[in-house]
Every structure is written in C-alpha cells, then in structure tokens.
Amino acid sequence: MAKTTLHSLLEMKQTGEKFTCLTSYDATQAHMVSSQGTDIILVGDSLGMVAQGKDSTVPVTMEDMIYHTRCVSRGNTDAMIMSDLPFMACSTPEQTYQNSAALMQAGAELVKLEGGRWLCDTVRGLSERGVPTCLHLGLTPQSVSMLGGYKVQGRDEESANRMIEDARLLAEAGANILLLECVPTPLAREISRSVDVPVIGIGAGSDTDGQVLVIYDMLGMTHGRKPRFVKDFMATANTPAEAVASFVADVKSGTFPAPEHGFDA
C-alpha cells in the first residue's frame, strides 16, 4: 500500500474514490489499522473518554496528545497521522503555532482544529508555516456544553447556511481537509460538493469523500448507548483486523454508511 498523502487524498476526491479514517491511541492499534489499508489515523482527543474514562474531551491536555501521537507514529505503516489540538490549545494564533509544531514533531502529519470561520486567520498562518490542517465542523465535542449536548447540528436554514459558509471560508484560508460530525446528510452532501478539499464525515451520511469512526465503536466496544452512526464490524468478523478490513472495504464500496447511519434534514 502506498503512503497516504494530501495529494493522494485530493486525487481520491477528484476521482470519487472514498477514503477511510479510524482513531488509534497506541502503537498496536496504529499497526493494525494501517496494515489493513486505512488511509488516515486520527489520534483523537476522544482518548479522554474512551481511554482515560473521563466525561468529555475537555480535560485532555497537550501532553496527552503528544504522548499518544508518539505512540501511534511508532506503530504506523502507510497511513497519514492526524492529531487533535485539545481544548483551548488554539486560543491564539501564536499558541496554535506552538502546539501544532509540538504535534508535528511528535509524528503528526496533519493537525485537526475544532471551530468555524473565526479560525481562518490561524489556518492561513499555519498553512504559510507548512502545517497542514483539518477543520472540524458540526458537532464539535470540545464545545458540547455550548451546543447543549451531543445533538445534530445544521438542521435549520440559518445554521446550515452558516456551516456552508464556514466550510468555504476555511477551505479558502488553506484548510486541507474538513471533517463534518453529526450533520444532516443533505447538508454534508452540499458542503462536500461546494469545496475543493476532501471532506470526512461521521454521522454525516454517505456523500462525504471519506468516513471516520472511533476504533472502539466499530469494534463493538462502545461504552453506554451506541451512536446512530456507528456500525459494529466485529459482529461479522473473527478478529479485530478483519473488522478493520471490513470497515475499509465497506467504505470503499459505498456499503457504509447506510441510510440508517445518517440524519435527515
């Protein structure tokens, strides 16, 4: 398998080939995920909830993200590594530059930030400094208290139009990838078609350019209520590696996500 790059992801978008992304938090997970053909590994601040047992992603620190990025980079084969900037790690452009550099030095090849158009200047500055970025729109877990809980975003016309405009402005500012979480399928489709950069979805329907899931969720290890957008790939697999291979195959073929994994307008 060839090494995943920003160029290869852009080619996939242009040719209509779907790409895949799974979270990993250690070297063993990273090796399994990447060796089964996953295109992107996300070292997500979701580790705060699924690995550290915390109530949200908010308590996750830069030290946590650096440590887990280093672990993942040691086990990775050909996937691109994308790492989250945790809560309040991008409050100012200067702080974001410093924290992004730390993640890149730990092994990240792409830095993910949560937020909309207010990050345009920061994204532009990161791009000028050679730091590729993924911008996370829709349900942004670091802001869940402000959003009133884990709810689908962009269901009314005003918020949908704002998200479309945020996506356009961030792409123009230099964002290399967008990630849409828990947004109606028609809105995700419109955003994916309106920007030139690849778009990853989770709970955003099947018309985004790629799909991401938390590794524990797709292995049937969800703690508590299973989100609507999750499919348990271990249910028909003999090993975790087989489950990952099935996820990759189903995304590539368009089998996953099915309509029942998305949300209507």
Delimit the domains of the chain by residue range: 6-261
Question: What pLDDT score does 186 carry?
Answer: 95
Residue 127, judged by CB atoms within 10 A of its CB (0-12, 13-18, 19+), counts as middle
C-alpha span between 36 and 226 (Å, rounded)? 24
Divide the 265 residues of the chain into consecutive groups of 10 and give the mean pLDDT of each group.
94 97 98 98 95 92 98 98 95 95 98 95 97 94 59 87 96 98 95 97 96 97 88 97 98 96 85
Who contacts 98 (Cβ-Cβ below 8 Å, separation ≥6)? none
Which architecture characterizes domain 6-261 according to CATH? Alpha-Beta Barrel (3.20)
Catalytic residues: 181
